[in-house]
Amino acid sequence: MSVAIVVHGGAGTISPERIGTGMAGCNEAAQIGMRILEQGGTALDAVEAAVRAMEDNPNFNAGTGSCLTSEGNIEMDAGIMEGHTLQVGALAGIELVKNPIALARLVLQSPHAMLIGRGASLFAEEQGIAFCQLEDLLTERQYNNWKRAQAQHTTEAEDLFEEKKHGTVGAVAVDSHGHLAAATSTGGIINKHPGRVGDSPLVGCGFYADANAAISCTGYGEDFTRLTIARRIADAVGTGKTAQEAADEVIAFLGTQTKETGGVIVVDKHGNTGQAWNSENMMYGSAQNK
């Protein structure tokens, strides 16, 4: 049985210097996940480990390196799903946690599907997760982005930046049993309203996995949410489309519905992969062992 993993580190108009660093970070994360798959580990373990690696990489807008809210806080969203069990774990507005995806995995293992804000923090405490300081998550780059956005008094801050990027990280994988999993994590959008939740922790929107396909998305969260982008791709694979055809079809559909942009990564139960985006570029990496 072939194993495969695809990861992404966001889509948008990304400068050549940052593309190089970002692609390197994606490849590193894909290799971390692949080592788990090659050793007979589960797709769920692989996507969690790959996303953790990107959360720890300050070049990505997730975990360390997350963007700031209009109040200067960091509120993160994450979701993880296992295809053959349809078990899901998600968090919205989680604060002061280094690896939201690891906490989302604990939610998946609990009776709950999604926890938010204060209740999510309480759950982290109950699970013995150590809290960090805001400074541990904050990078100089994101602080400078926030200062510029604040100076313009806008919540559509990304429009201010030459490098317009939808910062989200994600991974999809299939393991040696043909089981699928998907994970997505983000700091959201720069200068967002406190409490704003994007697509990343919403099942069927920013991530989805079933018995046929696993999907992770990056893009303007409000559109990916109302268009349930991830679930549309799973349904397309379920009706016989290849991973690549399904990715292309749904990104084309996105383009008919909104001027906002984004990208998706997909893997199917046979280890076929797909990726598509309608922004200028998307940072991604993959590894396959047929």
Site residues (vs ligand GLY, CB under 6 A) = 166, 168, 186, 188-189, 198-200, 206, 218-221
Write the single-letter amino acid at 230.
A
Q: Give the C-alpha separation, 190 to 115, whole Å.
A: 22
Provide DSSP, 65-94: TPPPBTTS---EEEEEEETTTTEEEEEEEE
Closer to ligand GLY by Cβ: residue 216 or 273: 216
Minimum CB–partner distance for residue 152 and ligand GLY (Å): 19
The residue among 3 and 91 lying less far from ligand GLY, judged by its C-beta, is: 91
Contacts of 273 (CB under 8 A, 6+ apart): 4, 6, 243, 244, 265, 266, 267, 286, 288
- Helix 243-257 and helix 229-238: axis angle, to 10°? 140
**Which residues are known to be catalytic?**
168
Which DSSP letter does residue 23 get?
A: H
Burial class (CB in 10 A: 0-12, 13-18, 19+), 240: exposed
- Cβ closer to ligand GLY: 219 or 271? 219
Q: Which CB, 108 or 205, lies closer to ligand GLY?
A: 205
Closest distance to ligand GLY from the beta carbon of 206 (Å): 6
Q: How far is the CB of 289 from ligand GLY (least distance, A)?
A: 30
Minimum separation from the CB atom of position 48 to ligand GLY (A): 19
